């Protein structure tokens, strides 16, 4: 039931000297699974996501490894071997992405309707105008936004509504894999929980698999089936959520878990003495209101 296989993927930023942003990463994603990807800022999470869907921009480049998509009809597609035209046709149809920062991802001068319709014009050109507009309205309602907002522009929507629009765009063609890069960043805790409930409900309803990227480990413990912990471009631990929480094996995972404040009990302490530890502490304490 594997839908995505990442094999020994390495990504460098080809500057002088080269920066090894992702180092020999391997994992599989099962159909309907939520795989959490956790780690401090700068550890390579987003670079890995962009590499999987071939959205890297120079000087970033894949130097080794591959990402293989396994379709429902049994066809394996190595994304590294796809040409530009094939990649454009496959990317949003089979694997989609919710980018970090919805306001920056939506075009500020184009209405929500036109941005949603553009997906169908590109990937479903045979659809008539009436059917396209109906599907756009249905999409918004599926993520909890009134279809009357189709005529709105991004600046007329709240942050939570913009994020819901991005999720609607990502699921427009009912892909089998959805990659979400910090989809709840900068949202208040109430809106964050609403978004997470929508993601869980839609996953259960449509059956797509999710790669959920965040530095917020408690959030991943709540919604993920498995969690991969990433540090300095490598996955240092991969386990199911309960095992990772109750019996972490890697020292970095233990420190990451300990860095989040508890609502009860004694205050924890951070390991001092290195720049790495201090950066981890500062990054992990920013929990986006999800300490519940």
pLDDT in tens, 237-279: 999 999 999 999 999 999 988 887 766 666 554 433 333 443 3
Q: What is this structure's pTM?
A: 0.85
Specify the 3-state DSSP secondary structure of 56.
coil
Cα–Cα distance, 147 to 124 (Å, whole number): 21
H-run or E-run covering 38: strand 34-38
Cα–Cα distance, 285 to 65 (Å, whole number): 34
Cα–Cα distance, 177 to 49 (Å, whole number): 12
User: Which pLDDT does position 86 carry in this prediction?
Assistant: 87
Question: What are the domain boundaries of the chain?
Answer: 2-285
48 phi and psi, to 5 degrees?
A: -60, -45
Protein fold of 2-285: Rossmann fold (3.40.50)
User: Which pLDDT does position 103 carry in this prediction?
Assistant: 63
User: Which pLDDT does position 258 carry in this prediction?
Assistant: 86
Cα–Cα separations (whole angstroms), residue 10 to 92, 93, 154, 219, 285: 23, 25, 36, 27, 29
Give the pLDDT band (50/70/90) at residue 3.
very high
Up-side HSE of residue 279: CA atoms within 13 Å toward CB? 11
Determine contact, residues 139/59, Cβ cutoff 8 Å: no
């Amino acid at each position: 039931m594997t839908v995505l296989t990442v094999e020994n993927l390495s990504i460098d930023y080809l500057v002088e000297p080269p920066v090894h942003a992702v180092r020999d990463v391997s994992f599989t994603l099962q159909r309907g699974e939520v795989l959490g990807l956790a780690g401090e800022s700068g550890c390579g999470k987003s670079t890995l996501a962009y590499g999987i869907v071939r959205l890297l921009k120079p000087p970033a480049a894949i130097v080794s490894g591959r990402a293989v998509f396994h379709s429902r009809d049994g066809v394996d597609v190595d994304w590294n071997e796809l040409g530009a035209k094939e990649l454009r046709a496959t990317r949003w149809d089979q694997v989609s992405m919710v980018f970090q920062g919805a306001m920056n991802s939506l075009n500020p001068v184009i209405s929500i309707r036109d941005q949603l319709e553009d997906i169908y014009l590109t990937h479903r050109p045979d659809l008539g105008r009436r059917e396209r507009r109906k599907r756009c309205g249905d999409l918004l309602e599926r993520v909890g936004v009134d279809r009357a907002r189709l005529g709105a522009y991004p600046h007329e929507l709240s942050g939570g509504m913009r994020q819901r629009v991005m999720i609607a765009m990502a699921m427009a063609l009912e892909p089998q894999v959805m990659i979400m890069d910090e989809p709840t960043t900068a949202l208040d805790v109430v809106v964050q929980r609403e978004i997470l409930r929508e993601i869980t409900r839609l996953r259960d309803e449509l059956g797509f698999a999710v790669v959920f990227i965040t530095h917020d480990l408690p959030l991943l413990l709540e919604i993920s089936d498995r969690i991969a912990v990433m540090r300095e471009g490598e996955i240092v631990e991969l386990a199911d959520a309960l095992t990772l929480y109750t019996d972490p094996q890697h020292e970095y995972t233990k420190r990451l878990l300990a860095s989040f404040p508890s609502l009860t009990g004694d205050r924890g302490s951070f390991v001092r003495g290195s720049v790495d530890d201090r950066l981890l502490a500062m990054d992990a304490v920013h929990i986006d209101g999800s300490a519940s």
